[in-house]
Amino acid sequence: MIDMDKITVIFSGMAGSGKTSLAKEIANRFALKYLCGGDALKELAYKQGYKITGSDWWETADGMKFLSERKTNPEFDKEVDKILLREAEKGGVSITSWALPWLGAPGIKIWVDASQDVRAKRIAERDNIPVSDALKAVKIRDEENTGLYNKMYRFTLGTDMEDFDLLLDANKKNVKELADEIEQFLKEKIKKD
């Protein structure tokens, strides 16, 4: 039987899919530590001299500039992945990460899927920006991140799904509905194991 305080749940999905909201909700429901790969990347950007502002930073000019810099220096992402992998191995965590599911990290891996239009609407609402600007940012981030991880690790975000335990369609359900689905899945998985 799985020990709940040692469980690792890893959420992955494209920008704006809802993975962060779900990871936080599951961390709360199961008393797990919450870790965000994007926050760790922001911390590294800050150390490089970038001024980090709010949850919408990735959609700013500086955020987009850092995405471009990441293409030429994959060490940022590799360092974040090492940190998150160590935490996943310890257990007791709910993590958001684009790479961990493909790097052999232990735990239950969940892909959160949503269309670019749905994700753009969520980001626009969250960051109080026009949907057209959010959609443009989503498309750039999708292309940049997919290319980066394919180059670094040889997997394709949103395509290579065999490493996942649960694939969620987040196009029409809210966080509570999805979190309820995840909670049920985790409880059933714990009973089986």
pLDDT digits (tens, 9 = 90+) for 142-151: 998 899 889 8
Name the token pair of 150. Answer: 């394919």
Which of 120 and 67 is assigned the larger pLDDT?
Answer: 120
Residues 157, 14 contacting (CB under 8 angstroms):
yes
Q: Is the pLDDT of residue 171 over 80?
A: yes
Q: Is the pLDDT of residue 13 over 80?
A: yes
pLDDT digits (tens, 9 = 90+) for 28-37: 999 999 998 8
Q: Residues 74-94: what's their mean pLDDT?
A: 91
Q: Is the pLDDT of residue 70 over 80?
A: no
Q: Residues 9-22: what's their mean pLDDT?
A: 95
What are the C-alpha distances in Å from 171 to residues 16, 58, 105, 120?
A: 11, 22, 27, 12
Q: What is the mean pLDDT of the chain?
A: 89
Class of domain 4-192: alpha beta
pLDDT value of residue 2: 53
Q: Is the pLDDT of residue 3 over 70?
A: no
pLDDT value of residue 1: 42
The domain ranges of the chain are: 4-192
Q: Is the dihedral of CA 176, 180, 185, 191 positive or negative?
A: positive
Q: Residues 3-9: what's their mean pLDDT?
A: 80
